[in-house]
Amino acid sequence: MPKIIVNNKEVEFEEGMTVLQACELAGAEIPRFCYHERLSIAGNCRMCLVENEKSPKPIASCAEPAVEGMNIKTNTPFVDKARKGVMEFLLANHPLDCPVCDQGGECDLQDQSMFYGFDHSRYSESKRQVKEKYMGPLIKTIMTRCIHCTRCIRFATEVAGIPELGAIGRGEDMEITTYLERAMESEMSANVIDLCPVGALTSKPYAFEARPWDLKKTETIDVMDAVGSNIRVDTYGWEVKRVLPRVNEDINEEWISDKTRYACDGLLKQRLDTPYVRENGKLKKTSWDKAFKILINKLRAVNPNEVAGIVGDLADLEMMYSFKSFFKKCIGSTNLECRQDRIYINPNERMNYIFNSSIKGIEESDLILLVGTNPRLEATILNARIRKAYLKNKPKIYSIGDPGDLTYPYQNIGSSTSIIRDITSGSHEVSDKIKKSKKPLIIVGESALYDDVGEYIFETLKIFLVDNNFITKNWNALNVLVQQASRVGAIDLGIYSINNDDNFSFFNKLRNNDFKFLYLLGADSISIDKKDKFVIYQGSHGDKGAEIADIILPGAAYTEKNGLFINLEGSLQRAYKASYPPGDAREDWTIIKELADRMNKPLEYNNIQQLRESIYKEIKSKAVEPAKISKKIDFKEGNISIKTIDYYYTNPIARSSKVMSECRQISKRFLSTGIEKAS
C-alpha cells in the first residue's frame, strides 16, 4: 500500500483516498464545512487547507488525491494563518446571531470559529442580505447565514434522488433555492437540516422549542416502518421535542425519513391517559379496577373459541409474547393474528418472511426485481439504499406492478401474475438475465402477497430461486418487504392463525362474525364490522380501534417503554425508554400481566428480565428450524396492483401528528396540481 507522511508520521492509505482521508488515518483532525464522507467532493469552503511540502500554496485536502511520498503538515503557523483567513471570509457576510439561532450549540461554524475566528472583523462594508426561501413545512430557512457549502444540493441530487435544490447566481450573489420555491417532495428532505453546517437550514417544527443542552438524549430505534432505523430521541420533561438519526452502517447509515423525524409531535396528541368503558353508547372515564372487572366478567361468559386477538403494527415483543401467553393460559384460545389484512405468509421457514439479503447487501446486487412493492413509500431508507446501489453498480432494475417514481430508473415489465409464470418457466427475457446475474435481488412486497394470488407468487418465486441456486448460505436472493415494525417479531412468536393450510381462516371467521369477543392490541388498521362483538382496545392513541371499543386500556407509546423489536431483515433490536406514559397509562405487558393475575391464572414471569428470557428462547428455537421445501402451486390468474399508501398516515402516531397532516396536504396538492405555493 502507498504511504504518506502526516505531521512527521508515516501512514499507509488506500488508492483513491484524498489527503483529508489520509490525514484522518494518521489521527490528524481537519476542519471542514463542505466535505461529507457520503457526498461527492465539492471543495467549496477551503477550510480544510493543509501544507504540502512540494506546494508553495496551501492545498484543499478534501479535493486533493493522496499521492505516494507526500509530506503533509496540518498544524503549522502557515496552515493556521490560511484557515483563519478562510474563516474571516466566511464570517464577513454571516449574521452574528448565534444567541437566537436554533443551530446554536450544534453549529460547525460556531465551533470552528472558536479556533480560527477573531474577536473583531476587518470587514466594514454592507453585509449581504438574502431573501428567505420556502422549502415546505419541515425546513426553516435563514439563507443569509448560508456559506455555500452545497451539502444540501448534493444530498438532494445524490442520496434522495430528487434534484429539487440548486444554486442561482455566482460568487457573493449565489443563492440556494428550490425550483419555483416550492416544498421539497422527497420523503428524506429534512436530512439537509443535519447536513447544514450553519443555521441556514433548521427544523421548522422545532424552531425555538429548546436548546440542545436542555434536552435528555436517548438512543433508540424507529418503528414508523420495519427498517429499524437507529435514532436519538430528545425529550424535555415528558415531551418528545425532536428525533435525530444515529449512524448505523448496516441499516440507515446516517439518514432517516421525514416521517421518522417529525411524527413525534403525534406522541403528544390524541393520547389515551385513562381507562374508558362504554355506557349507553358513550365512552366514559373509569378506573383500572372497574375496567378489569367488566373485562373479566365478559371473558368468563364467552366461549374461548369465540375470542380473538389482533396485534397492531407498533407492538413490541414483550407485549406480543404476553398477549399470546394470556390467550393460551387464561382464555384457552388460539385465535391470534398479527396481519391486519389478507397477506399470505409461510411461517414454516424464517427466510419466508424476512429481507434475507440484508439492507446493506443491496449494494452488492447486480440485478433487482421488484414484485408488487413501492419501496420509496414502504421503506424509504431501504429505497435510498437501492438508489445507492444503482449509482454504484448500475444494476438492472425491473418492476412487476407500477410503483411510480422511485428516484432511480427501472423497467416496468407488466402487472399480471402471468409475468411470474413466464419468468419462472424461462420464457421471459428477464428470466435469462436473472440466471446470468451473480447476486440477483428479488423484493416481494405486500401488494403481491394479498389474498390467494400471493401464495402462488411467493412459492413459485422461491422454487425458481432454489432451482437456480440463488438461496445459499452466501447469498439469499429471496426478500420479503414487510411494512410494519411488529410483523417479523409477531410471526417469530407464532401470532398468526393458519389452520389446515388455510392461510386466511382467521379473516374468514372475522368476516362471518364467528368471534363475539375481540381484543385489539394497538390494532388500528383492520376493517371490522362490529355488530354484536364486544371489543377491547389496548393502545396509546384514540384512533380507529378506540372508536369502536367497549373498553379502552391506555398503553405506552414506543418512546415511553423499554422494548424489543425485530426489523425486516430479522435483526433483534432494543428500544429504550425516553419518556413516560401520560396520566394513568401503563406499559402494555404489565397491563396484560395484571389482567392474568386478577383471573387467578398468573403468567410464568414476574419481571421484564424473566419475560425477555422466555422471548429469547422462543426466537432462538424459531431461528434454528430446519429448512422446508416449498410446495408447487398451480397458476392463478391475477393482477399485481401496488396498493396506494397514505404515507404520512400509516399509523396512529402519524395520524395524530400536525406536521404529518401538513405534509400530507402538500403531497395531495402536488398530485392534483403539480405545484405547491408557499404559504
The residue whose grid cell reads 476587518 is 122
Q: Residue 678: is its pLDDT beyond 60?
A: no
The DSSP secondary-structure symbol of 471 reads B
% of the chain at pLDDT higher than 70 = 97
CB environment 138-147: b (16+ within 10 A), e (fewer) = bbbbbbbbbb
Count CB atoms within 10 A of the CB of residue 105: 13
| Four-residue CA torsion sign, 144, 145, 147, 153 | negative
Q: What is the pLDDT of residue 670?
A: 57
Does an H or E element contain 200, and which?
A: none
Tens digit of each residue's pLDDT (9 = 90 or more) over 270-293: 999 999 999 998 999 999 999 999
> pTM score, two decimals?
0.93
Q: What is the pLDDT of residue 189?
A: 93
Q: What is the pLDDT of residue 679?
A: 36
- Distance, in Å, from the CA atom of 286 to the CA atom of 497, rounded to the nearest integer, reads 33
Q: What is the pLDDT of residue 369?
A: 97
Least confident range from 74-88, 121-135, 324-338, 638-652: namely 121-135
The residue whose grid cell reads 450544534 is 106
Q: What is the pLDDT of residue 227?
A: 96
Q: What is the pLDDT of residue 630?
A: 65
Q: What is the pLDDT of residue 673?
A: 45
Amino acid at 19: V
- Distance, in Å, from the CA atom of 469 to the CA atom of 476, rounded to the nearest integer, reads 9
Confidence of residue 17 (pLDDT cuts 50, 70, 90): very high
Q: What is the pLDDT of residue 626?
A: 52
The arithmetic mean of pLDDT across residues 136-155, rounded, is 93
All three cell numbers of 215 = 434536552
* Order of all β-strands in the sheet with 440-445: 411-412, 396-400, 367-371, 440-445, 478-481
Tens digit of each residue's pLDDT (9 = 90 or more) over 533-549: 999 999 999 999 999 99
- Distance, in Å, from the CA atom of 403 to the CA atom of 373, rounded to the nearest integer, reads 7
Confidence of residue 108 (pLDDT cuts 50, 70, 90): very high
Q: What is the pLDDT of residue 445?
A: 95
- Distance, in Å, from the CA atom of 594 to the CA atom of 586, rounded to the nearest integer, reads 11
- Distance, in Å, from the CA atom of 404 to the CA atom of 43, rounded to the nearest integer, reads 35
Tens digit of each residue's pLDDT (9 = 90 or more) over 356-386: 999 999 999 999 999 999 999 999 999 999 9
Q: What is the pLDDT of residue 619?
A: 87
Tens digit of each residue's pLDDT (9 = 90 or more) over 171-187: 888 999 987 778 888 99
The DSSP secondary-structure symbol of 397 reads E
> What value does the mean pLDDT of the chain take?
92
Tens digit of each residue's pLDDT (9 = 90 or more) over 231-270: 999 999 989 999 999 999 999 999 999 999 999 999 999 9
* Order of all β-strands in the sheet with 230-236: 216-221, 230-236, 239-245
Q: Residue 170: is its pLDDT beyond 90?
A: no
Tens digit of each residue's pLDDT (9 = 90 or more) over 622-662: 655 555 666 788 888 999 999 989 999 999 999 999 999 99
- Distance, in Å, from the CA atom of 334 to the CA atom of 600, rounded to the nearest integer, reads 20
Give the 3-state secondary structure of residue 234. Answer: strand
Does an H or E element contain 458, and which?
A: helix 451-467
Confidence of residue 667 (pLDDT cuts 50, 70, 90): confident
Q: Residue 676: is its pLDDT beyond 60?
A: no
All three cell numbers of 15 = 488508492
Q: Decide if 371 contacts 401 (C-beta within 8 A).
A: yes
* Rg, Å, the chain Cα set: 28
Q: Decide if 167 contacts 176 (C-beta within 8 A).
A: yes
Give the 3-state secondary structure of residue 175. Answer: strand
Tens digit of each residue's pLDDT (9 = 90 or more) over 374-419: 999 999 999 999 999 999 999 999 999 999 999 999 999 999 999 9
